[in-house]
Amino acid sequence: MAKILMKGNEAIALAAIKGGIDAFYGYPITPQNEIPEYLSKHMLDLGRVFLQSESEVSAINMVYGAAGAGKRVMTSSSSPGIALKQEGISYIAAAELPCVIVSVMRGGPGLGSIQPSQGDYYQATRGGGNGDYQLIVYAPESIQETIDIMKDSFNIADYYRNPVLVLVDGLIGQMMESVDFDKPVKERELPEKDWATNGTINHPGRRNVANSLHLDPYGLEQHNIHLQKKYNLIKENETAFELVNMKDAEYVIVAYGTMARICRSAIEMLNEKGIKVGMIRPITLWPFPEAAFDEISEKAKGILCCELSMGQMIDDVLIANNGRHKVGFFGRSGGVLPDPEEIVDAIVNFKDKVVK
């Protein structure tokens, strides 16, 4: 297939189809509506399952059911809707079921706005659900990268038996880019889903149960230790990031998604001014690419964390930096996108204070 021009949300939907999605359950919310709209038509044409649920709460529990039954299942939503899904996400992670969740962030808190934002970094990486669980969180910066991640996402979820969250902002959902759906996906040897609750007729002599209840404290602790081992394996294998112009960089920007794109322009402008600025662009937000911070030159004058929020990823930047360099913060929120000049200015007048 040649390159085609496609809107972000529709590309997410088509990439999910290419990635082998069996079922989609979701509830409408701007700015992600084109995902269910596209799937409502194409999934049925393909003889697969699409169902508009009565709420996000219901959608995520439909996902829980179908994931437990061994199918490749996805839901998508935006900030307040993802908030409603958190209980179900915690259950799914606890029961170690694979699924894909797409979150197209909008401005918050509360009903907020429908403009692009990165205000849900905490929601994605810390979770609003209860307990010690992690999602594998991807934060692509372009539609092409979103497609590549979406196509791989069901494999990753199946491989680790863990929910994968693809976190984009409304801009990526709404813009159009020229994209290629034929890039090869990483080969993974996937374990058989011999745990699926699809009736003992399919696995005689063994009852399969999807469950997150462990009333015995020692039993639950063992389960948590088991989960933690898996999370450590994910950290080892799946942490992804891009380094831009890092050699001898005087300043290093840390940014993801749409903000990283804006920062790319700012970095060019700064280089023209003779200020060497590099960038660490986390592609996975969890696991956070801590190792990338070892690539920062000892002589660097500072790190600037740039976000479309009042400062959330900054926490992980401070942890990863571990006191080695001065750290500053630049953020716009509420759906406001900064001009690259604002970031240029923040570097030129670098302040090693994290004033949010």
Partner 1 sequence: MRVKYEKSKGLTDTPLTYCPGCTHGIIHKLVAESLVELDILDKAIAIASVGCSVFSYQFFNCDAQQAPHGRACAEATGIKRVLPDNIVFTYQGDGDLASIGIAETIHAANRGENITVIFVNNAIYGMTGGQMAPTSLIGQKTTTSQDGRDQAHHGNPIKISEMFATIDGVAYLERVSVHDPKHYIKAKKAIKKAFRYQKEKRGFTMVELISTCPVNWGVKPVDAMKWVASDMIPVFPLGVFKDKGATNE
- Residues in contact with partner 1 by the rule CB under 8 A: 22-23, 25, 49, 51, 53-55, 57-59, 61-69, 71, 73, 87-88, 91, 95, 197-201, 204, 207-213
Q: Quote the least distance from Cβ 229 to partner 1, whole Å.
A: 23
- Tell me 116's DSSP state: B
Nearer of residues 51 and 269 to partner 1, judged by Cβ: 51
Nearer of residues 69 and 135 to partner 1, judged by Cβ: 69
Q: Quote the least distance from Cβ 262 to partner 1, whole Å.
A: 39
Contacts of 289 (CB under 8 A, 6+ apart): 239, 240, 241, 280, 282, 283, 320
**Given the DSSP bridges, would you call strands 163-169 and 99-105 parallel, antiparallel or unpaired?**
parallel
The Cα–Cα gap between 165 and 74 comes to 10
Q: Quote the least distance from Cβ 21 to partner 1, whole Å.
A: 11
- Nearest to residue 168, comparing CAs of 200, 139, 126? 139
Phi, psi of 303 (to 5 degrees): -115, 130
Q: Quote the least distance from Cβ 54 to partner 1, whole Å.
A: 4
The Cα–Cα gap between 150 and 103 comes to 12
Nearer of residues 214 and 301 to partner 1, judged by Cβ: 214
Nearer of residues 69 and 266 to partner 1, judged by Cβ: 69
Handedness of CA 238, 242, 246, 251 (dihedral sign): negative
Q: Quote the least distance from Cβ 214 to partner 1, whole Å.
A: 11
Task: Decide: 91 and 281 in contact? Cβ < 8 Å.
Answer: no
Q: Quote the least distance from Cβ 67 to partner 1, whole Å.
A: 8
The Cα–Cα gap between 172 and 168 comes to 6
Q: Quote the least distance from Cβ 70 to partner 1, whole Å.
A: 8
The Cα–Cα gap between 53 and 28 comes to 9
Chain centroid, CA 298 distance in Å: 30
Nearer of residues 208 and 265 to partner 1, judged by Cβ: 208
Nearer of residues 83 and 318 to partner 1, judged by Cβ: 83
- Nearest to residue 175, comparing CAs of 219, 142, 222, 217? 142
Nearer of residues 199 and 219 to partner 1, judged by Cβ: 199
Q: Quote the least distance from Cβ 220 to partner 1, whole Å.
A: 14
Nearer of residues 200 and 271 to partner 1, judged by Cβ: 200
Q: Quote the least distance from Cβ 135 to partner 1, whole Å.
A: 17
Contacts of 333 (CB under 8 A, 6+ apart): 107, 117, 119, 308, 309, 310
Nearer of residues 105 and 227 to partner 1, judged by Cβ: 227
The Cα–Cα gap between 245 and 268 comes to 10
Token pair of 203 as six digits: 């696995």
